[in-house]
């Protein structure tokens, strides 16, 4: 009776839980790997204080300590991001 119970019910149930745990582990690691690759790049840490300058491309005010800079005609221009710096055109 106990042997029948173990062979017919408990062994398949244990195998089912084992396969389920393995599949869950595989899919969780694949999901975290793909989400880590599609995540947006992190912004650089911003230090407190400093003078604010206006980004000439998007109009955002950005701290001089955290800005991305470009020197044009001897003047330093401050940008909020590398994308705005790359979009900037010299007149």
Banded pLDDT at 75 (limits 50, 70, 90): very high
Residue 34 banded pLDDT, cuts 50, 70, 90: low
Mean pLDDT of 48-58: 84
- Domain boundaries in the chain? 1-39, 52-87
Those residues with Cβ within 8 angstroms of residue 16's Cβ, 6 or more apart along the chain or in another chain: none
Residues facing 81 on adjacent strands:
none
Determine the Cα–Cα distance for residues 12 and 17; give it in Å rounded to an integer: 9
Share of the chain above pLDDT 70, in %: 78
pTM: 0.47
Give which of 43, 42, 41, 70 is closest to 56, Cα–Cα: 70
Evaluate whether 53 touches 67 at the Cβ level (below 8 Å): yes
**Residue 2: CB partners within 8 Å, gap ≥ 6?**
none
What value does the mean pLDDT take over residues 62-69? 88
Considering 1-5, 43-47, 69-73, the range whose residues carry the highest mean pLDDT is 69-73
Q: Which of 51, 60, 66 is nearest to 84 (CA)?
A: 60
């Amino acid at each position: 009776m106990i042997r029948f119970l173990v062979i017919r019910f408990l062994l398949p149930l244990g195998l089912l839980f084992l396969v389920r745990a393995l599949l869950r582990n595989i899919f969780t690691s694949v999901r975290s790997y793909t989400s880590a690759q599609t995540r947006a790049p992190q912004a650089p840490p911003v230090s407190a204080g400093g003078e604010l300058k206006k980004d000439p491309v998007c109009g955002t005010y950005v701290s001089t300590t955290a800005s991305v800079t470009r020197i044009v005609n001897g003047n330093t221009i401050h940008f909020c991001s590398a994308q705005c710096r790359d979009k900037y055109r010299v007149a």
